[in-house]
Amino acid sequence: MKPRHRRLALVAAGLALLAIAAALVLNAFQSNLVFFFTPSQVAANEAPQGRTFRIGGMVVEGSLKRPGDGLTVQFVVTDTAVNIPVAFRGTLPDLFREGKGVVAQGQLGPDGVFRASEVLAKHDENYMPPEAADAIKRAHATSEKAAQTLVVPDGGKR
Amino acid sequence: MVPELGQFALSLALLIAAAQGILPLAGAARGNAAWMRVARPAAQGQFVFVAFAFACLSYAFVTNDFSVQYVASNSNSELPLEYRIAAVWGGHEGSLLLWVLILCSWMVAVTVFSRRLPEDMVARVLGVMGLVSVGFLAFMLFTSNPFERLLPAPLDGRDLNPLLQDPGMVFHPPMLYMGYVGFSVAYAFAISALISGKLDAAWARWSRPWTTVAWLFLTLGIALGSWWAYYELGWGGWWFWDPVENASFMPWLAGTALIHSLAVTDKRGSFRSWTVLLAILAFALSLLGTFLVRSGVLSSVHAFATDPRRGVFILALLTLVIGGSLVLFAWRTARIGLGGRFELLSRESMLLTNNVLLVVAMGTVMLGTLYPLVLDALGLGKISVGPPYFEAVFVPLMAPALFLMGVGPLARWKKASLPELAVRLRWALGVSLATGALLPFVMGRWSALVGFGLALAAWIVATSALSLLERVRHAGSGAELRARLAGAPRSFYGMLLAHVGIAVFVAGVTLVLGYQLQKDVRMAPGDTVELDGYTFRFGGVRQVDGPNYVAARARIDVTRDGKPVTTMLPEKRRYRVQENPMTEAAIRTGITGDLYVSLGEALEGDTWLVSVQRKPFVTWIWGGCLLMALGGGLAASDRRYRVAVRRRDEEEVAVQGGLETNPARSET
């Protein structure tokens, strides 16, 4: 093989490798990107059925329940506008607390209950998961806007 | 008073660093020997002042001087002494100071171990490192001063994050930084070579031991972090593909590629531009890693944007380092030359393929890590990229690299022959296929992924054994076996050891993922749960007082076939200052696997949620990393690097004659 051909072959091999890597990345992105939705968005049916996504907000005070054997936990996540019930089987993280921010990853069941496969609460007591903070901020913004433009007696509660 | 002295020392260190960054580089450019000679004393002086500043900050921590803001936010009078010292690098400002201290230590090491290097090379290397130091010292003094006073002083500090109050976390950051900063030496060598235009095999040989030692520390640092996550986070995971972990993993991947590429440049003179690029990349990723973890950009892009001083400084520094290096590279690249030629099938081509695989894998990790940040910063929505993405991309990219890892060391330089390789490798292939096919049955259950992983691990071990065998056989007949073994250089054994370390690591990962078991149960005193033949009996919980926490400690007796195995004492701690609960898992470590018990929440009465896990061969993961690091140490201590330095004068003749005339060196 001439040196020029050899170099061409090397370049071609490199490009092929990059193409394979790109295909892998795109494929993995397609199926594994987890999008974030606020409880309001979930209530407005913006979240996909049958696909894993994240919701975030505050755990409603007094909503934590352990029916049955105590391994399944139920609680309610709110962005102060909309409440979404969440069910989770497993050990809750150390910093999970009622009245604190939380992010849950899982799928929305047909009964409107979010079945979490993972519950995240971060390392620091005062630290609000950014997604949760964002959800609450957005809910506030919408309700303020609504209050300015329309008379909505119950602030969009469901 | 002491904090002010510390700050003064830092300011002086900045001035010295500036002198060190300018004079030797200018001296080397103009051939002024007096200016070049500034480099060594400047580096050593800078070390003295930074070490003094570090001592001042440690003193403030030890004496609980809460009038220093950084101490007040990271320590507490109840914190035990060893964690008060570890708290020095528990936050952003202090870890920057540690970074600079380690940078200065590496500079001093360069001044000590470079006696036989040409004076202009040493001047340039130390000059470049001095410039890096200027960047960091300025960053620290202008945006993140660890000695900032907080007046009036609070009565007590906010305490160190309980997660960091652990021996693993005491050593993890210094190890990691030794690795990160160590790549600055490789970077400085690369930049010096670019400036001088002498990018030859001698340069690669000087750079090699430094790069290997840096890589060794980075390996240990990552392993420590992973081990810490395993026992401290309380649910038995050992790698999360978390941005913080990825930040340290990316320079490791680039550094691994760099080590191999340097070997080719050293032995064959090829890949020169690629090696330089990798050296720049490894250091740039180390900088990125430091800043990603410590600047707060990960927890919130917006918090980062609201304090733009740090952000702008970081971006400017990164741009300067990467952009400046690349401009220099583009300017000088025409003078580099191509080096030794090689065929499509040769050791060079396999090393190149592995290099490309490692860098591509690094790129995919970077994409997965930064993509959510970029989207969020641009306001395009929040997404998260979890472990499934990384596993789906990383494993297929690394599997061929592991396969080539077995072939590469046995292939000839320059031109290898496929039929010949196939004949030599047939036994190794047979052994590894048999292992992959049969060993899973011994473990109890066959699955394709487990078989594949074990086959790859066995392939690496078998081919390493084959390399050793061939080396001994060719080492000259007649000599005793021991003499033949001793005849092989240390770098060869280092390579074998590191490769076997990879195999042990792969086997550990495969077996843990394939056979781990977990049960979450509610347990009242007297309840038992069975897992993998072990019986766990819950003996209730009692309260225990720690120095700065109270804990609920459970007693769990483990038996197997009626015989007692061990007693495990998992805890749920509540740290008094930050009011954070913490799970302390109880682990029984064994060479064939761990038992892992952690307490969940307290339910009504004496009932608790308990998680019991069986983690087969999990220690092999860190054992493999340890072997890799040992291999790196062995390779870096090879006689060749010292002898080569001593023979510099002969080398110089060959170098000046250009690389093409350089005779091919011994095939190690």
Per-residue model confidence as pLDDT tens digits over B452-494: 999 999 999 999 999 998 888 877 666 677 777 877 888 999 9
Residue B206, token pair as written in the block = 């000087």
- B contact residues 243-282, partner A, Cβ 8 Å cutoff: none
pLDDT bracket for residue B579 (50, 70, 90) = confident
Where do runs of H (alpha helix) occur along B31-163? 33-36, 39-62, 69-74, 81-86, 92-113, 119-143
- Inter-chain CB proximity B578 and A36 less than 8 Å: no
Q: What is the mean pLDDT of residues B589-613?
A: 88
Contacts of B253 in chain A (CB under 8 A): none
Contacts of A29 in chain B (CB under 8 A): 385, 389
pLDDT of amino acid A130: 64
pLDDT of amino acid A79: 83
Cα–Cα distance, B186 to B564 (Å, whole number): 53
Residue B602's H or E segment, with its range, is strand B593-602
Q: What is the mean pLDDT of residues A17-41?
A: 84
Residues whose CB falls within 8 Å of the CB of residue B218, separated by 6 or more in sequence, listed in order:
B175, B176, B178, B179, B180, B182, B183, B248, B251, B252, B255
pLDDT of amino acid B387: 86
**Pairing between β-strand B581-584 and β-strand A33-37 as defined by DSSP bridges:** unpaired
DSSP-assigned letter for residue B24: H
pLDDT bracket for residue B665 (50, 70, 90) = very low
Contacts of B520 in chain A (CB under 8 A): 71, 89-91
Optimal mutation site among A1, A25, A35, interface B, most CBs of chain B within 10 A: A25
Answer whether B240 touches A (CB < 8 Å): no
Any idea of the CA torsion for B590, B594, B599, B605, to the nearest 10 degrees? Answer: -80
For the four alpha carbons of A66, A90, B249 and B594, in that order, the dihedral sign comes to positive
Residue B173, token pair as written in the block = 């950051």
Residues whose CB falls within 8 Å of the CB of residue B137, separated by 6 or more in sequence, listed in order:
B10, B13, B14, B17, B100
pLDDT bracket for residue B153 (50, 70, 90) = confident
Q: Give yes or no for a contact between B610 and B556, defined as CB atoms under 8 angstroms apart.
A: yes
Does the bond joining B118 to the residue before it have cis omega, within 30 degrees of 0? Answer: no
Choose among A10, A34, A94: nearest Cβ to B383: A34
Choose among B357, B392, B520: nearest Cβ to A71: B520
Cα–Cα distance, B287 to B283 (Å, whole number): 6
pLDDT bracket for residue A80 (50, 70, 90) = confident
Instruction: Please give the single-letter amino acid code of residue B423.
Output: V
For tokens 């990790």, the residue is: B365
For tokens 């781990």, the residue is: B516
User: By C-alpha distance, which of A114, A105, A107, A129 is closest to A82?
Assistant: A114
Confidence (pTM): 0.89
Beta bridge partners of B566: B558
pLDDT of amino acid A117: 87
User: Is pLDDT at B233 greater than 90 in this prediction?
Assistant: no
- Inter-chain CB proximity A94 and B353 less than 8 Å: no
For residue A56, what is the nearest residue in chain B, using CA coordinates?
Answer: B382
From the CB of residue B49, how many other CB atoms can be counted at a distance below 10 Å? 22
Average pLDDT, chain B: 87
Optimal mutation site among B166, B233, B355, B382, interface A, most CBs of chain A within 10 A: B382
User: Is pLDDT at B116 greater than 60 in this prediction?
Assistant: yes
- Inter-chain CB proximity B300 and A130 less than 8 Å: yes
Contacts of B523 in chain A (CB under 8 A): none
Distances (CA, A) of B452 to B88, B394, B397, B455, B625: 45, 15, 14, 5, 21
The residue among A91 and A155 whose pLDDT is bigger is A91
For chain B, what percent of residues have pLDDT higher than 70? 92
Cα–Cα distance, B621 to B508 (Å, whole number): 5
Q: B294-319 pLDDT, tens per residue? A: 766 766 555 555 566 777 788 888 89
Residue B334, token pair as written in the block = 């025409």
User: Is pLDDT at B559 greater than 70 in this prediction?
Assistant: yes
Choose among B522, B578, B583: nearest Cβ to A71: B522
Which three-class secondary structure state does DSSP give residue A117? strand
User: Is pLDDT at B556 greater than 80 in this prediction?
Assistant: yes
Contacts of A25 in chain B (CB under 8 A): 364, 367, 393
pLDDT of amino acid A109: 86
Distance in angstroms between the alpha carbons of the first and the last residue of chain A: 74
Which three-class secondary structure state does DSSP give residue B651? helix
ipTM, two decimals, is: 0.76
- B contact residues 457-486, partner A, Cβ 8 Å cutoff: none
For tokens 């003078």, the residue is: B335
Residue B299, exposed/middle/buried by CB under 10 A (0-12, 13-18, 19+)?
Answer: middle
Secondary structure (H, E, C), B350-390: HHHHHHHHHHHHHHHHHHHHHHHHHHHHCCCCCEEECHHHH
Between helix B167-196 and helix B272-294 the angle, nearest 10°, is 140
- B contact residues 558-587, partner A, Cβ 8 Å cutoff: 578-583
Residues whose CB falls within 8 Å of the CB of residue B362, separated by 6 or more in sequence, listed in order:
B250, B253, B254, B257, B285
User: Is pLDDT at B657 greater than 50 in this prediction?
Assistant: no
Cα–Cα distance, B586 to B573 (Å, whole number): 13
Q: Give yes or no for a contact between B606 and B243, defined as CB atoms under 8 angstroms apart.
A: no
Q: What is the mean pLDDT of residues A128-153?
A: 60
pLDDT of amino acid B262: 93
User: Is pLDDT at B647 greater than 70 in this prediction?
Assistant: no
- Inter-chain CB proximity A91 and B367 less than 8 Å: no
- B contact residues 150-169, partner A, Cβ 8 Å cutoff: 161, 163
Q: What is the mean pLDDT of residues B577-599?
A: 87
Q: Give yes or no for a contact between B506 and B513, defined as CB atoms under 8 angstroms apart.
A: no
**Pairing between β-strand B581-584 and β-strand B586-588 as defined by DSSP bridges:** unpaired
Q: Give yes or no for a contact between B538 and B528, defined as CB atoms under 8 angstroms apart.
A: yes
Per mean pLDDT, which range of B66-75, B218-227, B311-320 is the poorest? B311-320
Contacts of A31 in chain B (CB under 8 A): 388, 392
Q: What is the mean pLDDT of residues B593-621?
A: 89
For tokens 């390493």, the residue is: B464
User: Is pLDDT at A133 greater than 80 in this prediction?
Assistant: no
Residue B170's H or E segment, with its range, is helix B167-196
The residue among B654 and B612 whose pLDDT is bigger is B612
Counted residue by residue, chain B has a size of 668
- Inter-chain CB proximity B381 and A36 less than 8 Å: yes
pLDDT of amino acid A56: 84
Q: Give yes or no for a contact between B56 and B5, defined as CB atoms under 8 angstroms apart.
A: yes
Any idea of the CA torsion for A75, A79, A82, A87, to the nearest 10 degrees? Answer: -20
User: Is pLDDT at B658 greater than 60 in this prediction?
Assistant: no
In total, the C-beta contacts within 8 angstroms joining chain A to chain B are 108
Q: Give yes or no for a contact between A104 and A113, defined as CB atoms under 8 angstroms apart.
A: no
Residue B51, token pair as written in the block = 């070490």
Residue B379, token pair as written in the block = 């306001």
Cα–Cα distance, B569 to B586 (Å, whole number): 6
Residues whose CB falls within 8 Å of the CB of residue B122, separated by 6 or more in sequence, listed in order:
B36, B39, B40, B110, B111, B114
For the four alpha carbons of B109, B113, B117 and B119, in that order, the dihedral sign comes to positive
Residue B179, token pair as written in the block = 């690795």
pLDDT bracket for residue B222 (50, 70, 90) = very high
Shortest CA gap A86–chain B (Å): 18
User: By C-alpha distance, which of B148, B50, B54, B33 is closest to B107?
Assistant: B50
User: Is pLDDT at A58 greater than 50 in this prediction?
Assistant: yes
User: By C-alpha distance, which of B516, B555, B517 is closest to B536?
Assistant: B555
The residue among A134 and B157 whose pLDDT is bigger is B157
The residue among B660 and B378 whose pLDDT is bigger is B378
